[in-house]
Each structure stands twice: as structure tokens, then as C-alpha cells.
Amino acid sequence: MDLSWAVVVNFVTLYGVKVIASLLIFFIGKKIASLLTTVVVKGMRKSKIDETITSFFSNVIYFGLLVVIILAALSNLGINTTSFLAVLGTAGLAIGLALQGTLSNVGAGILLVFFRPFKIGHSVQIAGENGTVEELNLFSVILKTADNKQIIIPNSAVIGKNITNFSAKATRRIDMTFNIGYEDDLRLAKVTLQEIVDNEPRVLNEPSPFVAVGELAQNSVKLIVRVWVKTEDYSIVSFDIFEKVKLAFDEKRISIPHPLLPEA
């Protein structure tokens, strides 16, 4: 009994100290990892780095340090971490082959985070879909359409297609075409259009509004109107100008020819 008890005491003393030391390595290391991550995040925010990039890097740094801490704790217990890493690498390769599509989305997500072709809240056209960016994560971009639908687009589809960002610039140009009949007063029509855009307070003075004859078409004269507005005013100014033009043309008896219908 004395010999057995001595063996138990010796075992507990030897391995108990290692277990306690490993636990201390883990918990103290975790605290240090959290502290270092906080310092990095504060530094990035102080440098006014985009919040999406800050969040992404904070996760990468924290979990990277956590892996190192866990390996250090296991090594202190006498576990062969080299073998552990080999097994982990083999498992990672198998998982990677099984999740090729998902990993391609992750890779594309990292590129989107770095290059930032759009931000949360931007109005965009991506992979043929129009909407406002609600979320950008490592797997997909989530859009909200004007009629409140949610569209989820895999990052790999986003990175491989053209991206149109309607919110990237502070101003946008509205291009409009108005048709009048050949028998109508061209000068009066141009003056009317010029007055409408000049009296619209949301139309910018620079670049100045542009009104001109665009084409002598088969059954109408096409007048081109181009004005610059703030990006957030684009849609509402377009709607208002179209309405004002129709009312003004009706008042001044300027006709708007109907398009020719195809022969039956």
C-alpha cells in the first residue's frame, strides 16, 4: 500500500504540476491574446481603417494567437504537437477539398474586404442584381432591393462579375430624352426644358445643365437633357422632372409623339 500510495503521489505531483502549468498557460495566454487584439483594434480605429477590415483582422489575430497558446499548453503536457499538427494538416486538406466552393467564397470575401469596391449602405448592381448592401461577410454579400427583398450573392460570384457602385461618388448625372413632333416649336421646347431644370433647386449648377437636340428620328425630334445632382437625390429628381416636363408640354401644346407600333 505504501508503495502504491507513493506512486500515486509521485504521479499526481509530476503531472498535476504540468496540468496546472498548462491551464495557467492557456488562461493567461488567452487574456494576453485578448489584450493584444484590443490594442490592435484601437490602433486600427484610431487610424480610421474601415470597420469591416478592423473586425476581420481582430478575429484573425485573436484566433491565431489562441491556436499558438493551445499548442504551447499541449506541448507543456508532453503531447507531441508535431504529430498533432500533421494530423490537423491532413484533416484540413481533406476538409478543404470537400469545401472547395466555400473556400473560394472565403478567398473572394477576403479580396472584397481588402479592396472595398463598395461599403455597407451603398447602392450597387452586382451579378445582375440591384440593391443596397446590407452585409458583407466572408461567404456572401447581402443586398436589400427597393421592394424590400433580400438577395444573397456568394462572394465568388461577386468577384468574378462587373460591379457597378451607384453610391461611390458624391454626384451623379441624370440623362433624359424627350420626344417632340416635327410640327412643334423646337425653340419653345428647348426653352421650356431649360427653364424646368434651371428652376429645380436640387439640380447642381456645376457642371451646368445641358439641353440639346439629340436626334432627328423617324417620327419625332429627340431632345437630350443632362443634369447633375447629389447621388441621394438621383431618383426623386428624375421623377419630378419627368412630371414637370409632361405638365409644361401639355400647357404649351407641345406634343409628345407616340412610338410607332410594329405592323401586324
Residue 224: its pLDDT value, please?
96
> Lowest-pLDDT range, 50-59, 131-140, 191-200, 239-248?
50-59
Residue 97: its pLDDT value, please?
45
Residues found in the chain: 264
Asked whether residue 140 carries a pLDDT value surpassing 50, the answer given is yes
Residue 99: its pLDDT value, please?
43
166-218 tens-digit pLDDT: 999 999 999 999 999 999 999 999 999 999 999 999 999 999 999 999 999 88
Asked whether residue 250 carries a pLDDT value surpassing 80, the answer given is yes
> Higher confidence at residue 103 or residue 123?
123
18-28 tens-digit pLDDT: 777 777 888 88
Residue 110: its pLDDT value, please?
76
Residue 194: its pLDDT value, please?
96
Residue 13: its pLDDT value, please?
61
- Whole-number Cα distances in Å, 256 to 27, 132, 220, 247, 251: 77, 35, 8, 11, 12
70-104 tens-digit pLDDT: 877 777 776 666 666 555 665 555 545 444 556 67
Mean pLDDT computed over 136-157: 88
Residue 160: its pLDDT value, please?
79
Residue 95: its pLDDT value, please?
46
- Cell numbers placing 220: 419625332
Asked whether residue 51 carries a pLDDT value surpassing 60, the answer given is yes
> Lowest-pLDDT range, 11-15, 62-66, 248-252?
11-15
Chain-centroid distance, C-alpha 262: 43
b/e sequence 130-162, b meaning 16+ C-beta within 10 Å: ebbbeebbbebbbbeeeeeeebebbbbbbbeee
Share the mean pLDDT of the chain. 81
Distance CA 197, CA 179 (A): 17
> Higher confidence at residue 244 or residue 72?
244
Mean pLDDT computed over 41-51: 72
Mean pLDDT computed over 29-39: 85
Distance CA 26, CA 187 (A): 82
| Contacts of residue 70, Cβ cutoff 8 Å, sequence gap at least 6 | 26
3-state secondary structure at position 130: strand
Say which residue the cell 478575429 belongs to: 59
- Cell numbers placing 27: 488562461
Question: Residue 234 in contact with residue 172, Cβ under 8 Å?
Answer: yes
Residue 76: its pLDDT value, please?
72
Chain-centroid distance, C-alpha 45: 19
Mean pLDDT computed over 143-160: 91
Question: Residue 168 in contact with residue 122, Cβ under 8 Å?
Answer: yes
